[in-house]
Amino acid sequence: MFNFIFRRALSSFGVLLVATFLIYVLVDVAIDPLAELRTSTAPNKEALIQERITLLQLDVPSPIRYFGWLAGVAGCFIGQCDFGSAWSTNQQVSDILVSSLIVTIKLVTVATVLAMILGIAVGVVSALRQYTGFDYTMVFISFLLYSLPSFWVAVLLKQWGAIGFNDFLADPHVGAPTIIVLAVIAGIVWQAMFAGDFKRRSVVFGASTVVTAGILFYVLGTGWLLNPSLGPVVIALTAAAAGVALTAIMAGLRNRRALYSALATGVFAGVVWYPMQFLFVNFSAALTLVFILVFIAVGVLAGWLFGGYDRRISMRVSGLTGLIGFGLLFIDRVMLAWQPYFNSSAINGRPIATLGSQTPGLKGSYWTHQLDSFTHLILPTIALVLISFAAYTRYSRASMLEVMNQDYVRTARAKGLSERVVIVRHAFRNSLIPLATIIPIDFAGILSGAVITERIFGWRGMGTMFLSGLDRNEIDPVMAYVLVIGAVAIIANFLADLLYAVLDPRIRVNA
Q: What is the pLDDT of residues 220-240, one digit of tens each?
A: 888 888 889 999 999 999 999
Residues 87 and 55 sit within 8 Å (Cβ to Cβ): yes
The pLDDT value given to residue 449: 55
Q: Is the pLDDT of residue 303 over 90?
A: yes
Lowest-pLDDT range of 109-118, 193-202, 207-216, 412-421: 193-202
Q: Tens digits of per-residue pLDDT, 434-468? A: 887 777 777 776 666 567 788 888 888 888 888 88
Q: Is the pLDDT of residue 64 over 60?
A: yes
Query: In one letter, which amino acid is 165?
Result: F
d(CA 469, CA 202): 59
DSSP string across 245-277: HHHHHHT-TT-HHHHHHHHHHHHHHHHTHHHHH
Rg (CA), the chain: 27
The pLDDT value given to residue 285: 85
Residues 163 and 189 sit within 8 Å (Cβ to Cβ): no
The terminus-to-terminus CA distance of the chain in angstroms comes to: 9
Phi, psi of 345 (to 5 degrees): -65, -30
Angstrom CA distances, 295 to 286, 288, 300, 323, 329, stand at 15, 11, 9, 6, 11
d(CA 481, CA 489): 12
Kindly state the average pLDDT of the residues 95-122. Answer: 86
Count CB-CB contacts under 10 A for residue 176. Answer: 11
Q: Tens digits of per-residue pLDDT, 135-177? A: 888 888 888 888 888 888 888 888 888 888 888 888 888 888 8
Phi, psi of 222 (to 5 degrees): -100, 0
Phi, psi of 92 (to 5 degrees): -75, 135
Chain centroid to Cα 109, Å, comes to: 4
Q: Tens digits of per-residue pLDDT, 314-329? A: 999 999 999 999 999 9
Q: Which one-letter DSSP state was computed for residue 363?
A: -
Q: Tens digits of per-residue pLDDT, 173-207? A: 888 889 999 999 999 888 887 766 788 888 889 99
350-379 as b/e, with b when 16 or more CB fall inside 10 Å?
bbbbbeebebeeeebebbbbbbbeebbbbb
**pTM confidence score:** 0.83
d(CA 473, CA 36): 10
The pLDDT value given to residue 44: 85
